[in-house]
């Protein structure tokens, strides 16, 4: 999965983990905040994605702790995951610049 664009949920999860390790609920909240409320992941979707990202080597378990009798697992972005996120950021920047250039070439008033 290292080639091509990242799916938006993957991009947002990696972005959420870029600043610091987080547990699942923290990731869910951060994804919603980063997307300005547009993306609301379900727990099942998140943990399936974290398993896949872990298998890809992009995230890893940072630590585990028991809180109120329940296991809380914290995840962190690996160096490989950070590198993949940076590739995606550069890809998006490039596409954004291309769109901006094209919009500047657009005739005033557009076409009918």
pLDDT tens digit sequence for 69-91 = 888 999 999 999 999 999 999 99
- Cα separations in angstroms, 19 against 28, 32, 39: 15, 15, 19
- DSSP structural state of residue 69: T
Beta strands at 59-67 and 70-77: parallel, antiparallel or unpaired: antiparallel
Q: Reduced to 3 states, what is the DSSP secondary structure of residue 43? A: helix
Please report which confidence band the pLDDT of residue 108 belongs to, taking 50, 70 and 90 as the band edges.
Answer: confident
Q: Reduced to 3 states, what is the DSSP secondary structure of residue 25? A: helix
pLDDT at 1: 46
The correct CATH number of 8-101 out of 1.10.510.10, 1.10.10.10, 1.10.40.60, 3.90.850.10 is 1.10.10.10
pTM of the full structure: 0.88
Beta bridge partners of 72: 65
Distance (Å, whole) CA 73 – CA 65:
7
pLDDT tens digit sequence for 50-72 = 999 999 999 999 999 998 888 89
Distance (Å, whole) CA 48 – CA 91:
25
Question: Radius of gyration (Cα) for the chain, nearest Å?
Answer: 18
Spans of all domains in the chain: 8-101
């Amino acid at each position: 999965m290292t080639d091509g664009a990242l799916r938006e949920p993957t991009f947002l999860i990696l972005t959420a983990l870029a600043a610091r390790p987080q547990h699942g609920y923290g990731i869910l909240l951060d994804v919603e905040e980063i997307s300005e409320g547009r993306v609301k992941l379900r727990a099942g979707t998140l943990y399936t994605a974290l398993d896949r990202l872990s298998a890809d080597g992009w995230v890893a378990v940072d630590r585990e702790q028991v809180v109120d009798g329940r296991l809380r697992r914290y995840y962190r972005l690996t160096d490989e995951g950070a590198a993949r996120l940076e590739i995606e950021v550069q890809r998006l920047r490039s596409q954004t610049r291309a769109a901006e250039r094209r919009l500047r070439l657009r005739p005033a008033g557009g076409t009918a």
